[in-house]
Structure 1
Amino acid sequence: MTPGGTKVRIVDDEPDLLSAQVQTLRLAGFEPEAFTSAQPALQGLSPDYPGVILTDVRMPGMDGLELQRRIQALDPELPVILLTGHGDVQMAVAALKAGAWDFLTKPAGADELAAALRRASQSRALVLENRLLREGFAAASGEDPFLWGNSPIATHLRQTIDRVAETGVNALIIGAVGSGKEAVARALHAKGNRRSRPFVHVICAALDASRFDAEFFGQAGLGNRAERIPGLLEKAQRGTLFFDAIDTLLPALQARLLSILGSTEFLPAGATSQRPLDVRMLASTSTDLPALASRGDFRSDLLYRLSGVSIHVPPLSARREDLQGIFRRLLIDISRRQGLPVPTVSAGVQARLDSHDWPGNLRELQQFAEAVAMGLDPVPLFRDESIDARASLAAQVAEYEAALIRSVLRQTGGSVVEALQLLKIPRKTLYDKMARHGIDPSVFR
């Protein structure tokens, strides 16, 4: 692998030396990013950063060793190379034991520096490639991004899916729009004993009364040479039939569907004899289906037939601790499929992740990740429609300001002193803004 295009964040408080290092690395084919202090170098770093870090050890404020510790906490596999004076070698050796990638003594020659960075960048590329392979394996195994997460809620949902998948019973999947109900249905199929058979997705809102029989039972061939068209029941035989948004099914079709579900046989169009009906039925809804049934807007007997077990899918607002990880994996997956480099997460994107309520749930988060992966400015694309147009600018500025302060405090571990250096505002101004937005810096320590 050649180093061309490999990013290197260089941190050194000596401007002349920093400038010389930047020029040296550009000539060697690297893509240097220069910083005169450690704290700004942390901004925008993420576990997806496609580069390495080169930092001086002795610097005012945060030194190179503390920077290395912060980076290791972010991603233990992100290489950090330390530049040390001769008197700091013992300290650098201790840093190696603590997880630093390598150290070089000043003044490091151009060839020595490039060789060390080349080795580190090759290691970093291998780490990221292996992560992508693991992500791809998870996706290929039926682990939908919507089901990722380490929160107790996400863990409980996956455990519920595993248990229900084993039983093979019919299930009703309940959750808000965009919360991942289809992902749950596909996981139930993939983890059950029908996994080798078809998963047939039926969009209930699109079913037409005049086409109902043709959709479910098929169409007989017209003429001697015409082929018959199999229906949904035949396609899903011994597999799974998923009724998406069952609450949108027309009342006239609810009785028709009930008659099918209550039978153990069916007669395909053009056939001369009944065939066994062996299909698992899954259905989803984003409404209170029992309440609809109690009002007479949905058949109670159809509800009971479908809901052998009910699975409740939580909204994203109930599992915010999963949000960062899901977004990162979505970003990696989308970038890989589009053949694009995985972008770093900017302060604006991070502010959106921290502050937005995500009423569209995981579907909205996926659309946001797609915009970020394609390099589009996500703010105009994902503006809150609920904000009054007369106050939209002020409201969005306040929302962004609060999210940015929280993001900086998270980076600094709740240190107001370091946050002041990053934000470049007076102490009183920062405290006033934190009070206005209800931000407590101790929460981030």
Structure 2
Amino acid sequence: MTGQPDNRKVLIVDDDPSMRAALRQWIRLAGFATVEVATADDAMSRLAPDFDGCVVSDVKLEGEDGLSLLRRIGELDGDLPVVLITGHGDVPMAVEAMRAGAYDFIEKPFDPDHIAEVVRRAADKRALVIENRALRKQLSDGAGLESRLIGNSPAMHTLRQQILHFAKTDAAVLVTGETGTGKEVIAQALHDFSNRKDGPFVAINAAALPEAMVEAELFGHEAGAFTGADRQHIGRIETAHKGVLFLDEIVSMPLALQPKLLRVLQERKVDRIGGARAVEVDIRLVSASNLDPREAVSTGRLREDLLFRLNAIELHVPPLRERGRDCLLLFDTFVNRLAAQYGLNTPDISARDEAFLQTYPWPGNVRELRNAAERFVLNAGVSPQPLEILVTGQKGLAAPKGADGLKALVDDYERSLIESALRRHKGRVADVLRELNLPRRTLNEKMARHGLSRDQSGAADFPES
């Protein structure tokens, strides 16, 4: 009858101390942990909708009986298995109990092996319920996150999975990526899908504040702490108590303040300027940088010991140019949302526009793409122009005419793809071959036909391999 240790619990409800002791012994021998109470009220105080075990209760209890307790548990969580025990064994009571939702009904005296087996089956059923609920929540959270971080590229699928996983922890997160990739969106998601979602989300851009103001904004100050401090000011760190503090452009934080931030992260206390005592804070820190944080350490802009505190978890947001067809999906989504927002008709996206979307490098990333979508929607009704002109101010792809329109467009698109790959890989042909999945001879022929060379990509100083 002895089972392997199990972290699932069995709540035993019986007003007879000797019976509670016997049930405890048999159920623990089966490998489960037990909690024992004598009354229905005590039982309800130990239960919650996420209780990960089952309940074993005698029908006859002092005050409220087991059938009434069964109904109360059903109101709390109809999927929580309840096994009822009786020494009277009348059939009507068993029928009533099963109709009320009892998982099983056992008569005294009973075989310890039998009750252990019933408990094991009830606990297994409960484990499946908890697992299915977690899966449904994950799917629901994933769907919500997909509406914020749009994209079907493998990199975005992985990023969304990481966010949902790491959101459950309180570890510090460092988000890296180019300007405009959506680092604050990720920080907000880490807050919204976490246990801190009901707490504040406080964002501050270290690069946007004058250096003289950063300390007061972050740490706060007491009245009279310095000239002009006529009243107490609670800093952003304290404001984020029980929530998430997002520090954007962390590398721009003045070097002199970095030890003070490090102390906050180590001791969970903040010192206001002019304060007599430290104030305890409970925060999760999410920081972001559009620069390589390790390079910032090597150049003396970021303390190494602070970096170790910031990047317990490190998330990298890929630039838009590395996300394949995500730019098409994003642009289409932005166009539809913005057209609805402005009360305008949704403009059609031409093949030329799609070709430009996929070949333009988008240095401003998602932020630039959204701006392009807004201009595209607003101009469509009065002076429609190809997207490339709206974005760059100049005509890139020639407008195809006549019978050769499709061929000209395909040729222009092919040339743009190859030229973009050459530029991105700084003329390293081996990398271009891998990205475009082309044999070397085919690439050479296409480059010759389109008048392209490695030197034109600005790659004269780079080796081919």
Cα distance change on mapping 1:326 and 1:177 into 2, 3 Å: same
- Cα shift readout 1:239-263 (whole Å, capped 9, x = no counterpart): 1111111122222232332233232
| CA displacement at 1:287 relative to structure 2 | 1.5
Name the SS for the 2:181 alignment partner: coil
- Please name the residue that 1:10 is paired with: none
Question: What TM-score results when the alignment is normalised by the length of structure 2?
Answer: 0.51
Name the SS for the 2:353 alignment partner: helix
Cα distance change on mapping 1:237 and 1:163 into 2, 3 Å: same
- Please name the residue that 1:382 is paired with: 391
**Percent identity of equivalent pairs:** 35
| CA displacement at 1:303 relative to structure 2 | 0.6
- Please name the residue that 2:312 is paired with: 308
- Please name the residue that 2:369 is paired with: 365
Q: Which one has a bigger Cα radius of gyration?
A: 2
| CA displacement at 1:281 relative to structure 2 | 0.4
Name the SS for the 1:382 alignment partner: helix
User: Within 5 Å, which residues of 2 pair with 1:157-176?
Assistant: 157-176=159-178
Does residue 257 of the first structure (1) align with residue 270 of the second (2)?
A: no
Name the SS for the 1:234 alignment partner: helix
| CA displacement at 1:165 relative to structure 2 | 0.7
- Cα shift readout 1:354-386 (whole Å, capped 9, x = no counterpart): 3212222212211111111212644334218xx
- Quick check: 1:144–1:183 contact (8 Å CA) kept in 2? no
Match of 1:156 among 148, 155, 158: 158
| CA displacement at 1:273 relative to structure 2 | 5.5
- Please name the residue that 2:193 is paired with: 191
Name the SS for the 2:295 alignment partner: helix
Q: How many residues align?
A: 268
Match of 1:182 among 173, 179, 184: 184
- Quick check: 1:164–1:188 contact (8 Å CA) kept in 2? yes
| CA displacement at 1:290 relative to structure 2 | 1.2
Name the SS for the 1:169 alignment partner: coil
Name the SS for the 2:207 alignment partner: helix
Match of 1:246 among 250, 253, 270: 250
Cα distance change on mapping 1:341 and 1:302 into 2, 3 Å: same
Amino acid paired to 2:177: G
- Cα shift readout 1:383-424 (whole Å, capped 9, x = no counterpart): 18xxxxxxx86xx24699998326999xxxxxxxxxxxxxxx
Does residue 342 of the first structure (1) align with residue 354 of the second (2)?
A: no
Name the SS for the 2:204 alignment partner: strand
- Please name the residue that 1:404 is paired with: 409
Higher relative contact order (CA 8 A, sep 6+): 1
Q: Which runs of 5+ in 2 are unaligned?
A: 1-139, 225-229, 415-444, 453-465
Amino acid paired to 1:404: L
- Please name the residue that 1:215 is paired with: 217
- Quick check: 2:215–2:257 contact (8 Å CA) kept in 1? no
Question: What TM-score results when the alignment is normalised by the length of structure 1?
Answer: 0.53
Greater mean alpha carbon deviation, residues 160-169 or residues 348-357: 348-357
- Please name the residue that 1:299 is paired with: 303
| CA displacement at 1:437 relative to structure 2 | 4.2
- Quick check: 2:240–2:283 contact (8 Å CA) kept in 1? yes
Name the SS for the 1:314 alignment partner: coil
- Please name the residue that 2:294 is paired with: 290
Cα distance change on mapping 1:260 and 1:374 into 2, 3 Å: same
Amino acid paired to 1:328: D
1-side partners of 2:311 and 2:373: how far apart? Answer: 34
User: Within 5 Å, which residues of 2 pair with 1:36-435?
Assistant: 141=144, 143=146, 145=148, 147-220=149-222, 228-268=232-272, 274-375=278-379, 377=385, 378-383=387-392, 396-397=396-397, 404-405=409-410
- Quick check: 2:221–2:233 contact (8 Å CA) kept in 1? yes
Name the SS for the 2:197 alignment partner: coil
1-side partners of 2:345 and 2:260: how far apart? Answer: 50
- Quick check: 1:327–1:366 contact (8 Å CA) kept in 2? yes
| CA displacement at 1:269 relative to structure 2 | 6.8
2-side partners of 1:143 and 1:227: how far apart? Answer: 44
- Quick check: 2:203–2:245 contact (8 Å CA) kept in 1? yes
